[in-house]
A and B are shown apart, each in its own frame.
Chain A
């Protein structure tokens, strides 16, 4: 079954509005979640690392005031795209890291496709 869920799966919004994307870890508690963005035909780009109970760590070039990340619990992280513009249209994917006996695996959510008109 699914390990990570995202909601919504698809959203269309007007320019200037804010959009919140939820990422939930269903099978285990995740102290760390990652947010990625993927433009068409391009590789995944890490946006930020979300740490439960503390501030997110943003990658260079990602505006922390525009992409608000809240990791309030061990199973939920949210990404809010504030004042969205057409250039923010992209596929947003979250992932959680699960440490088992001998490896650290990342499990990805199904992604959220954002279209800003």
Chain B
């Protein structure tokens, strides 16, 4: 079957760094997306990885290891506005995104 495994909730301090891990199993693979979702809002696109390695985009970086079925999202210099849910979504062989429940990130002052 297809499944996503992320921590349910994480807490971090403003200004710090946090890494959100994701392991996945899919039927085929066409890349992995990370989305940010604030409460009551639709998800917004953060990053896309299709090859192994690290993709850096400002304060956010995303890493992928296809052989391990593993990805992480790294958030640096955390700000209060980063409090949100972070969704790891791999794309299967049908180009369909597979969604988990996401990780709720709580930022404390």
The interface residues of chain B lying within 8 Å CB-to-CB of A113 are 40
CB distance from B95 to the nearest CB of A (A): 6
Interface size on A, residues (CB 8 A): 20
Partner of B95, one of A97, A107, A109: A97
Task: State whether A106 touches B97 (Cβ < 8 A).
Answer: yes
Q: Which residues of chain A from 23 to 45 have any CB-CB distance to chain B below 8 Å in the complex?
A: 42-45
Task: State whether B42 touches A103 (Cβ < 8 A).
Answer: no
Task: State whether B101 touches A105 (Cβ < 8 A).
Answer: no
Given contacts A42-B101, A43-B101, A43-B102, whether A104 and B40 have CB atoms under 8 Å apart is no
Nearest A residue to B101 by beta-carbon distance?
A43
The interface residues of chain A lying within 8 Å CB-to-CB of B91 are 104
CB distance from A56 to the nearest CB of B (A): 14
Partner of A44, one of B41, B43, B45, B95: B43
Chain A 62-86, CB-CB to B under 8 Å as 1, else 0, gives 0000000000000000000000000
Chain B, interface size: which category?
Answer: 20 to 34
SS class, residues of chain B in contact with chain A: loop
Q: Which residues of chain A from 80 to 104 have any CB-CB distance to chain B below 8 Å in the complex?
A: 91, 93, 97, 102-104
Task: State whether B45 touches A105 (Cβ < 8 A).
Answer: yes
Given contacts A43-B99, A43-B100, A44-B87, whether A103 and B31 have CB atoms under 8 Å apart is yes
CB distance from B29 to the nearest CB of A (A): 13
Query: Does B44 touch A at the CB level, under 8 Å?
Result: yes
Give the complex CA separation of A101 and B56 in angstroms. 19
The interface residues of chain B lying within 8 Å CB-to-CB of A107 are 45
Nearest B residue to A32 by beta-carbon distance?
B95
Give the complex CA separation of A1 and B68 in angstroms. 37
Nearest B residue to A92 by beta-carbon distance?
B42
Task: State whether A103 touches B48 (Cβ < 8 A).
Answer: yes
Give the complex CA separation of A93 and B87 in angstroms. 15
Residues of chain A whose beta carbon lies under 8 Å from any beta carbon of chain B? 42-46, 49, 91, 93, 97, 102-111, 113
Question: A46-B96, A46-B99, A97-B95 given. 8 additional CB < 8 A pairs?
Answer: A42-B101, A43-B102, A44-B43, A44-B99, A104-B31, A104-B91, A108-B45, A111-B42
